[in-house]
Amino acid sequence: MNIKTARRWFLWHKWTSLVCTVFLLMLCLTGLPLIFHDELDGLLEKQVVAEIPEGARKLSLDSLAVLAGKQYPAEKIRYIFWDEKDKNKIIFDLAAKPDAPPEGSRYAMLNMYTGAVLDKPTTDGVMDIILKIHINMFLGIGGKLFLGLMGILFVIAIISGVVLYGRIMKKYDFGMVRKYKSNRLKWLDTHNLIGIVTLTWASVVGLTGVINTLSDVVLALWQQGQLKEMVAPYAHQQPLTGNLSSLDRAMTVAQKAAPHMEPRIVTYPGTLFSSKHHYAVFMRGNTSLTSRLLMPALVDAKTGALTDARRMPWYVNTLFLSEPLHFGDYGGMPLKVIWALFDLGTIIVLITGLYLWFARRKASKLQWSRFTEKTVYENEA
């Protein structure tokens, strides 16, 4: 690599790093507690156990929906989902309109065996606030896409850093840290060494983070693609009025369509994930991998008949798989600890990168000052 090419790579690394570093620091700092969100939720939030009386049987979904609706009489149910950690709990999302924004949701958590209201969860807890900062900085889709751009710059910075490090290692031993040289050289070697150690992790987390920021785009593509195709026969029909068909019937029909899967979410007609005429029952697999993938089964909300059930397209499945990989929450506590250590290492890389930039600027200013003083002295002489 000649000097001109090396300088070009250096400039790519310098400016992509500078632009994204502050935002990457924010993402790493907020991402650290999110790695342990399950454990922290258990400490910070009230934990309610769904007690099961002896000999009790699960209540029907229809009766549970009636009980949930009584908690917020002015709202209507639009989503139903099951608690990830306690299968005896069921959560209802209610809002004034089916297409209301997420901020308009109210929640009711019920015991599936007794119908007792266990809690009315909110989305303003400490971990919820940290998650919103991490996802979009409270700036909606604009903030999300901006952080995606920062992720792309981060990946470019990683690639250019690897190219530069390879050039340096031709002259020195791999992993060397010049402890007895200047502070700037010592921190440069530390920056390079930790950067190489965290290379694979940072690349994976950076790329999956970029994918996650495209969730709204992926949703729109799915809505205008597969979902539109699935509900095409209903395109010119009037929206449903009056009472809807049985939820239990919809669940039975969906489980027959996907016998080796279990329900994850039920969405009502008129929501973002359904049509104005269907319940959408999203089924998931029962293994650690397939549990991350969903298959929608559309059930006519008037007749209770199954109208379509399809596997999600590849770009939606890519999004589903990128989220657990991004947060490292699919392999238990050992993987979470590894993810946290790499996160801390990346924080050190970002901080040392900022230090090196300021130190270089300071050295350049000092050199320029000395050159100016020397020039003035020679002219006066």
Q: 124, 155, 181: which is the final residue of a domain? A: 124
Q: 87, 107, 124: which is the final residue of a domain? A: 124
Q: Is residue 352 part of a domain?
A: no
Q: What tens-digit pLDDT sequence spans the chain (381 residues)?
A: 667 787 888 888 888 988 999 999 999 999 999 999 888 877 777 777 778 888 889 999 999 999 999 999 999 999 999 877 778 899 999 999 988 888 889 999 999 999 998 888 777 778 889 999 999 998 989 999 999 999 999 999 999 888 887 776 666 666 566 666 677 778 787 888 888 889 999 999 999 999 999 999 999 999 999 999 999 999 888 888 778 999 999 999 999 999 989 999 999 999 989 999 999 999 998 877 788 889 999 999 999 999 999 999 999 999 999 988 898 877 788 889 999 999 999 999 999 888 888 877 666 555 544 434 444 334 444
CATH number at residue 261: 3.10.450.40
Q: Is residue 16 part of a domain?
A: no
Q: What is the DSSP string of 71-127?
A: HSTTSEEEEEEE-SS-TTEEEEEEESSTT--GGG-EEEEEETTT--EEE---S-SHH
Cα 191 off chain centre by: 27
pLDDT at 45 (0 to 100) = 73
Q: Is residue 116 part of a domain?
A: yes
Q: Is residue 181 part of a domain?
A: no
Structural domain of 269: 230-327
pLDDT at 50 (0 to 100) = 79
Q: Is residue 106 part of a domain?
A: yes
Q: 287, 307, 327: which is the final residue of a domain? A: 327
Q: Is residue 66 part of a domain?
A: yes
Q: Is residue 369 part of a domain?
A: no
Instruction: Look at the chain and report how many structural domains it folds into.
Output: 2
pLDDT at 375 (0 to 100) = 41
Q: What is the DSSP string of 22-77?
A: HHHHHHHHHHHHHHTHHHHHHHHS--------TT--PPPHHHHHHHHHHHSTTSEE
Give the integer Cα–Cα distance in Å for 34 and 134: 9
Q: Is residue 139 part of a domain?
A: no
Give the integer Cα–Cα distance in Å for 275 and 301: 10
